Amino acid sequence: MRAVLKPASLEELFYQLDRRPEALLMAGGTDLLIRLRSKPAPDDRPLLLLADLDELQGIKDTGNEISIGAATTLTRLIADPLSRHHAPLLIRAARTIGGPAVRGMATLGGNIRTASPAGDSLPPLYLLGAEVELASRQGRRRLPIAEFVAGPGRTRLHNREIVTRILLPHAENFPSQTFEKVGLRRSLAVAVTSFAGMARLSAAGILEEVRFAWGSVAPTVVRLLGLEAELVGATLDRDTIRNAAEIVRQGVSPVDDIRATADYRRRVAGNLLVRFLEGIHV
């Protein structure tokens, strides 16, 4: 029978990790429990429960940034006034994750820690300049989200280190923001391709700043910084949009899998950018 350990503080959590370094950390469990059930062989590693640790809960404004506890559920994230004001793009993505029951258990930290190329929270977090706070007995450190995620299922976590908080700058002025994902069904879908976009247009119709990120089209989230720089100062005419979409199709590196072909993902990635740029207005 698998042991279940419920530490009352981070100090106790690290003590338990020292005693049982093989333990599995669980917050909401919406991904972990599915993976454990799919294993044909017995697995007696204990579970270390994180959901009730106060240090990993809640959303607060520190004065310099918005701090989101890693064990904060998606339902709480979506409802909180601070996250709704400072990170509406993240809220759009969070609303697409699973159904209400899943969002009531799943946590933002868990969605990040899974490090899936299809993780819905990741493209918005890349664009929002998110950092991840990590803690161990040795202290705390911070990494930009793009450095934290190393590849499918891989992160820069050290041994006996956990994700404690997600840190976001205060909201910037981007009147045009979107998050979209294309899946094999209309709800409860895993992204075949996802896209997050932010743009600011001048009164004269000139692009002042743009940020784009794609999920499920490479081992990690894709940002095409050269394209973003090229579009600054451009007008949104047909040729500009068409050329930008072609750069996207050449710039992503998807694979064939059971959900879609690489070629389909390339076309969708470009099409999602076209839809966003065509919808921007002064």
Rounded-to-integer distance, Cα 248 and Cα 264, Å:
13
pLDDT at 188 over 70: no
Collect all residues with Cβ–Cβ distance below 8 Å to 244 and sequence separation of at least 6.
227, 230, 231, 273, 274, 277
The confidence score (pLDDT) of residue 17 equals 92
Average pLDDT, the chain: 93
Task: Write out the CATH class of domain 4-169.
Answer: alpha beta
The confidence score (pLDDT) of residue 225 equals 97
The pair phi, psi for residue 180, each rounded to 5°, is: -135, 150
Q: Which amino acid is at 143?
A: L
CATH of 176-278, one of 3.40.50.280, 3.40.640.10, 3.30.390.50, 3.50.50.60: 3.30.390.50
Three-state secondary structure along the chain? CCCEECCCCHHHHHHHHHHCCCCEEECCCCCHHHHHHHCCCCCCCCEEECCCCHHHCCEEECCCEEEEECCCEHHHHHHCHHHHHHCHHHHHHHCCCCCHHHHHHCEHHHHHHCCCCCCCCHHHHHHCCCEEEEEECCEEEEEEHHHHEEECCEECCCCCCEEEEEEEECCCCCCEEEEEEECCCCCCCCCCEEEEEEEEECCCCEEEEEEEEEECCCCCCECCHHHHHHHCCCECCHHHHHHHHHHHHHHCCCCCCCCCCHHHHHHHHHHHHHHHHHCCCC
pLDDT at 177 over 70: yes
CB 91 within 8 A of CB 78: yes
pLDDT in tens, 1-45: 688 889 999 999 999 999 998 888 989 888 787 777 777 656 788
pLDDT at 187 over 80: no
pLDDT in tens, 60-101: 999 999 999 999 999 999 999 999 999 999 999 999 998 899
pLDDT at 138 over 70: yes
Q: Taking the model in full, what pTM does it have?
A: 0.94
Q: Where in the chain is the domain with CATH 3.30.390.50?
A: 176-278
The confidence score (pLDDT) of residue 32 equals 80
Rounded-to-integer distance, Cα 282 and Cα 280, Å:
7
Percent of the chain scoring above 70 in pLDDT: 97
Mean pLDDT of 106-127: 95
pLDDT in tens, 215-228: 999 999 999 999 99
The confidence score (pLDDT) of residue 45 equals 85
